[in-house]
């Protein structure tokens, strides 16, 4: 049985280095795992309880919840916007946190990684994402981290999948997440 990992990318930019990092994760997914990058975060309206009505949930939000329901684990790719989590990623967490008591995360393992222009690789945003997703019902695996600094320089001419150091670190992250997801599925 393959472990299903849902990847959410916090940048909507076409040339996003976090998107490229997610593509590398798909390429280097460990045997026995399947990583799906969720498409459509830009179409999900900002969370509003007035429109989160059973039978009438916006289609894009329902699609996210459906994808989350079939996932065994989550892998977030977060850049850092003004020292914190991008709104599109926070909005996805908000939609998955509802309905109250039935989180789309359902205690499933969650890992947050990413890259950013700054010297710390977006750690503030990634810490904020871990905090939010943990409150929203995800089982955040705190010890699995990957923050790649200086993304604009490092990936100016090289895709993350062609950077041997990044590939080695990402492969380790994926292997560990697969292990946690496999344990959760078996339990």
User: If you average pLDDT over every residue of the chain, what do you get?
Assistant: 95
pLDDT tens column, 58-114: 999 999 999 999 999 999 999 999 999 999 999 999 999 998 888 999 999 999 999
Residue 184 has pLDDT above 80, yes or no: no
CA atoms lying within 13 Å on the CB side of residue 94: 15
pLDDT tens column, 131-140: 999 999 999 9
Residue 149: CATH number of its domain: 3.40.50.360
Question: Is residue 41 very low, low, confident or very high in pLDDT (cuts 50, 70, 90)?
Answer: very high
Enter the tokens of residue 10. 């916090």
pTM over 0.85: yes
- For residue 164, the enclosing domain spans 3-186
Domain count of the fold of the chain? 1
**122-132 average pLDDT score:** 97
Question: Cα–Cα distance between 184 and 89 in angstroms, integer?
Answer: 24
Q: Is 149 left (phi over 0), alpha (psi -120 to 50) or beta?
A: beta
In this prediction, residue 100 carries a pLDDT of: 84
Enter the tokens of residue 22. 């997610």
Under 8 Å CB-to-CB from 124, ≥6 apart: which residues? 80, 83, 84
Enter the tokens of residue 25. 């994760």
Task: Please tell me which residue, 118 or 138, carries the higher pLDDT value.
Answer: 138
């Amino acid at each position: 049985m393959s472990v299903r990992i849902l990847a959410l990318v916090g940048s909507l930019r076409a040339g996003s280095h976090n998107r490229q990092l997610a593509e590398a994760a798909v390429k280097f997914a460990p045997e026995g795992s399947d990583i799906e990058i969720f498409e459509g975060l830009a179409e999900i309206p900002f969370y509003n309880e007035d429109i989160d009505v059973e039978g009438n949930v916006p289609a894009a939000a329902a699609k996210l919840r459906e994808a989350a329901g079939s996932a065994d684990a989550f892998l977030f790719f977060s850049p850092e916007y003004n020292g914190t989590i991008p709104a599109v990623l926070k909005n996805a967490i908000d939609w998955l946190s509802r309905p109250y008591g039935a989180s789309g995360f359902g205690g499933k393992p969650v890992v947050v990684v990413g890259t950013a222009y700054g010297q710390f690789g977006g750690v503030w945003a990634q810490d904020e994402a871990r905090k939010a997703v943990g409150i929203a019902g995800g089982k955040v695996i705190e010890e699995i981290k990957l923050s790649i600094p200086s993304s604009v320089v490092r990936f100016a001419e090289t895709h993350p999948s062609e950077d041997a150091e990044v590939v080695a670190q990402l492969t380790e992250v994926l292997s560990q997440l697969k292990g946690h997801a496999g344990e959760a599925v078996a339990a």
